[in-house]
Structure 1
C-alpha cells in the first residue's frame, strides 16, 4: 500500500519543479530575445555617412555643365576664295598684331582684279569717245545753224522786198504771204537746230554721269579686291594665342570660311548647357557658381541663346574673377544656377540619401539606433539640403543611401 511522502521529500520535489519551470521560462525568454535579435535589422556603422544638422543659408540651384572659353575671341575668316599655301603659326602659338598666321594663294583674285582694271580702262576710253562723238555732232549742227541763220536773213530781206513791191504796186499780196511763210519755216528750223544742240549737250552730260558712277563702282571693287589680296596674308590684328587654325595646306576655302581663331587668354567666361526643361528658370543677370577643382567662382548669367539645340539651352556666365589662375581654355566645369535662397534655416550636408529617397523622412542616429522620423525637406543644392521640420540643430542625420531600409522605423547600428 502507498505510503505518504515525507515532508522533506515533498519539499525537494517542489524545489525541483520550481527549478524546472525557471529554466523553461528562461529558455523561452532567451528564445524570444534571440529571435527578436534575428529579425531586428542592423547596419554597420562604417557603412554609414552622417552629418549634423546646423543653421545656415541654403541657395537652391540647378546644375549645368560648362566649358571655360576665352572672354574675347577673334574669328578670322577667309577674305577670298583661295587655296591655303602656307601655315606660318600653328595652334597654341602666341602672336602679336601684324604677325602672319596663314598665306593664301591669290591667283584667282588677281585675275578678277586685272579684269576689273581692264574694264575701268575701257570705261575711261568710252568717256573720250563720247566727247569726240558729241563734238562731231555739235560741229555738224553748228554748220547747219550758220546756214540756217544766213537763210533766215535772206528770207527776211526777201520779205521786205515783197512788201516794198506791194506798196509801190509792183507786187502782189500772195507773194508777200509766201515770203512771210518761208521766213517762219526757216526760223522754226533754226530754233530746232538750237534745241538739238542743247539736247546733245544734255545727253553727253547724262552719259558722262553714268560713266562717272560706273568708274566709281569699278574703283571701289578694285580697292576691295586689292584689300582682300592684302588680307590673303592672314595677319593678327590683336595680341593673343591661336586656339585653332586650318592647317591643311593645299585645301580650298571659300570667302567667309573660318580659317583661324585668335583668343585673348587674359580673361575667361563659361559657356554652359542645361536641359530645356529648366529654360524658364534662366534669366540674364541671374547668379551662378562655377566650380573649378573644388574652388567656387561667383558669376552672373550674361546671355542666353534663344534657340534650343538637341533639347539643351546654351547660356554664358560672366565671372567675377575672370582671370583666376585655375581657368584654362576648354576646361570642363560644373555650373550651379541659383533659383531660390534661404538666408537662415536648418540644413544638413547633401548626400546620396536625398537623391534616392522619395519620402519626406530622415533617419536620426540616437544611442546606437537609426530612428526614422518624418521631416519636411525644402530647397537644396549640391552641398546642402534644407530641413524645414522634424529635426533639431545638432542632431546627426544619415546622408548615405538608405533605399533598402526605407520601410523600417528602427535600425540597429553595429
Structure 2
C-alpha cells in the first residue's frame, strides 16, 4: 500500500524541479543571446573612422588630374628640308634672344636657291634679248610701212594723171580703172601692214609682261628661300628654357616638322584632363582649385579642347598666381573644378564610405551600436559630403568603408 511521502522528501523533489526549470531557462537565455550574437555582427570601434554632422558650406567639385605647363611656349618648326648637324642647347638649358639652338645642314636648300638665281639671270638675259628683237622687228615693220605709204602716194598721183589724160582725151577709161584698182590694193595692203604692226606690238608686249611676271615670281621665291635659310639657324627670339629639342644628329627633317620647344618659365598654367562623363559640367570661366604639395592655388577654366581623346577631355586653367614659387614644369597636381556651391547645409567629412556604399543610407553611432538609417546624399568634394535629410547636427556617422555591412540594419560596437 502507498505511503505518504515525508516532508523532507517533498522538499527535495521541489528543489530538484526548481533547479531543472532554472537550468532550462538559463539554457534558453544563453541560446537566445548566442543566436542574437550570430545575427547581429560586431566590430571593433577602433577600426572605424567617424565624424560628426555639422552645418556649413559644401562646394561641389569635379576632380581631375593636371600637369604644370609654361603659360607661353614657343614651338619651333623646321623652315626647310634639312639634316640636323649639331645640337647647341639641350632640354633644360636657358637661352637668350639670338642664341642658336640647332644647326641645320642647308645644302639642299642652297642648291635650290642657286638654281633659282641662275634661272632668274637667264630670264633677265632673255628679257634683254626679247627687247632687242622687239626693236629690230618693229624697225623692220616701220620701214615697210614707210615704203608702203610712199607707194600708195605714188599710185594716188598716177590715178590723178590718168584721170587728167582721160579728161583731155589722151587716155582711156580702162587705164583710169586700172589705176584705181592698183591704188585700192595698195591701200588695203597698207592698212593690213598697220594692223600687223599693232598686233605684233601687243603680242610682244604680252610676252614681255609674262616674262616680267615670271621674274617677279622668281624674285619672291628667292627672297622666301633667303628668309628660310636665315630661319634655319634656329635662334631663340625671347629669353626662356629649352623644354624639348630633336637631338638625333644626322636625322632628316621636313619643312614644318617640330624640332624644338622653348618656354618662358616666369609664368605657368595647368593642363588638366577629366573623364568625358563630366564634359557637360565643364564651363569656361568656372572657378578651380589646384592643389600643389598641400597648397591650394586659385584659378579659372580658360579653355576646353573640343575633341575627346581616349575617353578624356583636356582643358586649361589660368592661375591667379601664375608665377607661384611651387610651380615647376611637368609637375603633376590635383585639380578641383567647382560646379556648385551650397551655403548653410548639413555636412560631414568625406571618407571611403561615400565612395563605396549606397548613397541612400548612412550608419549612425548610438551608444554601442551602429544603426543603418536612410539618408539622402547631396553634392560633395574631397573634404565634405552634403546630407540633405535623415540626420541632424551632432550625429556621429561612420565614414570608413562599410561595404561588408551594407545589408545589416544594426551592428554592435565593441
Shared fold (TM-score greater than 0.5)? yes
Distance 1:282 1:267 in 2: 24
Query: Equivalent residues in 2 for 1:297-336 (5 A)?
Result: 297-336=297-336
Is the 8 Å Cα contact of residues 359 and 376 (structure 2) preserved in structure 1? no
Secondary structure class of the residue paired with 2:234:
strand
Task: Structure 1: state its 5+ residue gaps.
Answer: none
Is the 8 Å Cα contact of residues 359 and 377 (structure 2) preserved in structure 1? no
Shift of 1:12: 6.5
* Further displaced range: 36-45 or 75-84: 36-45
- Indicate the residue corresponding to 2:206 in structure 1: 206
Distance 2:33 2:57 in 1: 47
Shift of 1:11: 9.6
- Indicate the residue corresponding to 2:244 in structure 1: 244
Normalization by structure 2: what TM-score? Answer: 0.93
Report the CA distance shift for 1:152/1:359 in structure 2 as closer, same or farther (over 3 A). Answer: closer
Cα RMSD after superposing both structures: 2.3
Report the CA distance shift for 1:4/1:210 in structure 2 as closer, same or farther (over 3 A). Answer: closer
Distance 1:359 1:135 in 2: 98
Distance 1:226 1:54 in 2: 72
Distance 2:5 2:378 in 1: 82
Task: Structure 2: state its 5+ residue gaps.
Answer: none
Distance 2:60 2:387 in 1: 13
Distance 1:326 1:396 in 2: 38
Distance 2:35 2:5 in 1: 47
* Further displaced range: 13-22 or 134-143: 13-22
Distance 1:92 1:24 in 2: 86
1:106-147 Cα distance to aligned partner (Å, 9 max, x none): 100000000000010011011111111111111211221221
* Further displaced range: 326-335 or 214-223: 326-335
* Further displaced range: 371-380 or 295-304: 295-304
1:65-116 Cα distance to aligned partner (Å, 9 max, x none): 2222111111100011101011111100111111110010010000000000
Query: Equivalent residues in 2 for 1:197-346 (5 A)?
Result: 197-346=197-346
How many residue pairs were aligned? 412
1:279-321 Cα distance to aligned partner (Å, 9 max, x none): 2222322333222222222222222222222222222222222
- Indicate the residue corresponding to 2:56 in structure 1: 56
- Indicate the residue corresponding to 1:24 in structure 2: 23
Secondary structure class of the residue paired with 2:325:
coil
Normalization by structure 1: what TM-score? Answer: 0.93
Report the CA distance shift for 1:36/1:134 in structure 2 as closer, same or farther (over 3 A). Answer: same
* 2:181 counterpart of 1:156: no
Secondary structure class of the residue paired with 1:235:
coil
